[in-house]
């Protein structure tokens, strides 16, 4: 391991420790409303990390991940409401269901790609609310698709260091998100991650080199769907309900993709950062024109356009370009005048 590599890893470790420290401190400083907003950003980050595995690393565009998000939300909500399950035991079921559905939906991706695949996933997002109204409304409130399971409350053993239930839910979401982040980092840095990039860059060359293209594509869809479903389950824990309106599902799908693009595709931490930017930018625009909420989406869109104009390759790409420029300046300063 070279000195520069060691230094870079130490810097990344130091940044990670600072970020985790700040996230642990957040609920101790903010009230319930802001703590819930930070928790919302956390589960958006989980969904964006999963979509990044599919879109950023594997090159498959999806604008239907709001449906997988809803699958996770309704699976957890129904198990908690009708079967009296606790929240944590629902997560393995959520992951298994999402892996199966994601793999099943990944097979059409073997035939189509690009905008055609995006249109198919858009159809999934449009179809999901109708399926929920047809099959899940019997579990909802008053025959609707809204399901409100019992709230997740802090256990008695946590009373010594957690004062409120919203803090406990925040820390639960944070711990699960960190575990999902570490899993994604290990995936993209291993053999599977190299296979994802190889298939994205050149399918024929990857196949010649022995990569099973079909298995990689289907696996990417399944794992990405599982991440979105876990995020949906976390949303039920944080928000206390599962709901699937057409506008909500489509909006979530778009916001997940926006978070990936803003943070920087094919980066490990970029989509998570992009998710925080999306959530807090939405909240900022709502507060800015509180008297005219109808203008909030337009202002939010303007903010996103300005960000992409300044950082066309996302926050991760902007950091890379800044680091490259800094290395170039350091190298040019170390070369003696007149040297070739």
C-alpha to C-alpha distance for 276 and 30, rounded to whole angstroms: 16
Burial of 115 per CB tally in 10 Å (0-12, 13-18, 19+): exposed
Structure confidence at residue 294 (pLDDT):
64
Rg of the chain over Cα atoms, rounded to whole angstroms, equals: 21
DSSP codes of every residue in 16-78: HHHHHHHHHHHHHHS-HHHHHHHHHHHHHHHHHHHHHIIIIIT----S-HHHHHHHHHHHHHH
Q: Helix, strand, or coil here: 147?
A: strand
For tokens 């599982």, name the residue: 226
CA atoms of 176 and 235, how far apart (whole Å): 12
Cα gap 126→113, rounded to integer Å = 19
pLDDT for position 293 = 63
266 within 8 A of 58, measured Cβ to Cβ: no
What pLDDT does 25 receive? 92
pTM: 0.91
Spatial distance between the Cα atoms of 231 and 90, rounded to a whole number of angstroms = 13
* CATH of span 32-333: 1.10.3470
pLDDT less than 50: residues of the chain: none
Q: What is the pLDDT of residue 99?
A: 96
Task: Report pLDDT for 103.
Answer: 93
pLDDT in tens, 59-114: 998 988 999 999 999 999 999 988 889 999 999 999 999 999 999 988 877 888 87
Distance between CA atoms of residues 300 and 22, nearest Å: 26
Query: What residues are paired with 242 via a beta bridge?
Result: 147
């Amino acid at each position: 391991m070279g000195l520069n590599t060691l230094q870079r890893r130490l810097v990344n470790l130091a940044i990670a420790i600072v970020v985790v420290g700040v996230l642990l401190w957040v609920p101790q400083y903010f009230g319930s409303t802001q703590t819930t907003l930070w928790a919302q950003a956390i589960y958006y980050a989980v969904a964006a990390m999963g979509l990044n595995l599919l879109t950023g690393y594997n090159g498959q565009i999806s604008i239907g991940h709001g449906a997988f998000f809803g699958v996770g939300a309704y699976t957890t909500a129904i198990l908690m409401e009708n079967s009296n399950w606790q929240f944590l035991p629902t997560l393995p079921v959520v992951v298994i269901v999402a892996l199966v559905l994601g793999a099943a939906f990944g097979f059409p991706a073997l035939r189509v790609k690009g905008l055609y695949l995006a249109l198919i996933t858009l159809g999934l997002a449009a179809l999901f609310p109708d399926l929920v109204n047809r099959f899940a409304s019997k579990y909802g409130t008053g025959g609707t698709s809204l399901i409100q399971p019992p709230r997740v409350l802090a256990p008695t053993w946590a009373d010594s260091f957690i004062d409120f239930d919203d803090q406990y839910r925040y820390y639960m979401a944070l711990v699960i998100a960190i575990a999902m982040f570490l899993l994604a980092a290990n995936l993209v840095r291993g053999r599977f991650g190299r296979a994802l990039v190889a298939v994205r860059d050149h399918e024929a060359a990857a196949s010649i080199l022995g990569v099973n293209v079909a298995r990689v594509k289907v696996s990417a869809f399944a794992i990405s769907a599982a991440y979105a479903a876990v995020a949906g389950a976390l949303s039920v824990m944080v928000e206390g309900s599962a709901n699937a309106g057409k506008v909500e599902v489509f909006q979530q799908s778009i916001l997940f993709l926006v978070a990936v693009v803003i943070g920087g595709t094919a980066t490990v931490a970029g989509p998570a950062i992009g998710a925080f930017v999306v959530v807090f930018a939405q909240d900022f625009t709502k507060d800015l024109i509180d008297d005219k909420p109808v203008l909030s989406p337009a202002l939010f869109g303007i903010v996103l356009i300005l960000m992409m104009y300044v950082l066309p390759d996302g926050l991760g790409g902007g950091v890379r370009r800044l680091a490259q420029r800094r290395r170039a300046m350091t190298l040019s300063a170390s070369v003696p005048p007149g040297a070739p």
